[in-house]
Amino acid sequence: MTPTAGTDPAYLISRERLIDAPSDRIFEVLATPALHSVIDGSGTVRGEQPNGPARLSLGARFGMDMRIGASYKILNRVVEFEEGRRIAWRHFSAHVWRYTLEPRGESTLVREEWDGRQVRWRFIFRILGFTRRHPASIEATLGKLEDYMLQQRGAA
């Protein structure tokens, strides 16, 4: 039996990391598209000059230079936004990149999710290897985010 849209756990990939920084500072990085290439662990987000607002909000649209084999541009829209706690965006293919933040004293539990459960043609993600590669890419992104936050604390 084929799972119905939204139910197949293979298309929800989630990792989390406790980062020694307050949630508002981490959220500021996630809400700043110019920093996405700095923390990207997949190696696909390019450049620090995205098209769109300097800071994201619900409904904001922003374009990013990307590269998977060939260079291309992608237009994203913020679909979930709770200041300091949650931000998520998607583009034409409808899969969602989501970050949720849970304050833990002076630290923050950061969860990053790639959610392709609502994509009708999601089997293509598996065929192209995205579901296989995303766990490592998410882990790398969380590591780069943690490193960036440590560098910022040292620079302050």
In a domain, 66, yes or no: yes
| pLDDT for 72 | 67
What DSSP element (H or E) covers 130?
A: helix 130-155
Which candidate, 154, 153, 155, places its Cα nearest to that of 21?
153
| pLDDT for 153 | 85
pLDDT digits (tens, 9 = 90+) for 63-114: 888 887 788 688 999 999 999 999 999 988 888 999 999 999 999 999 999 8
In a domain, 104, yes or no: yes
Kindly indicate the confidence band of residue 4, based on its pLDDT and cuts at 50, 70 and 90: very low
| pLDDT for 7 | 61
Assign residue 37 the CATH number of its domain: 3.30.530.20
In a domain, 39, yes or no: yes
Give every CB contact of residue 95 below 8 A, 6+ residues apart in sequence.
11, 114, 115, 116, 118, 119, 122, 125
Count Cα atoms within 13 angstroms, Cβ side, for 37.
Answer: 13
In a domain, 49, yes or no: yes
First to last CA, the chain: 55
In a domain, 44, yes or no: yes
| pLDDT for 129 | 62
| pLDDT for 25 | 97
Contact by Cβ (8 Å): 6, 117: yes
In a domain, 23, yes or no: yes
| pLDDT for 131 | 67
Give the total number of structural domains in the chain. Answer: 1
In a domain, 1, yes or no: no
In a domain, 128, yes or no: yes
Give every CB contact of residue 128 below 8 A, 6+ residues apart in sequence.
none
What domain range includes position 104? 10-155
For the record, the structure tokens of 94 come out as 């409808």
pLDDT digits (tens, 9 = 90+) for 9-55: 778 889 999 999 999 999 999 999 999 999 999 888 887 666 889 99
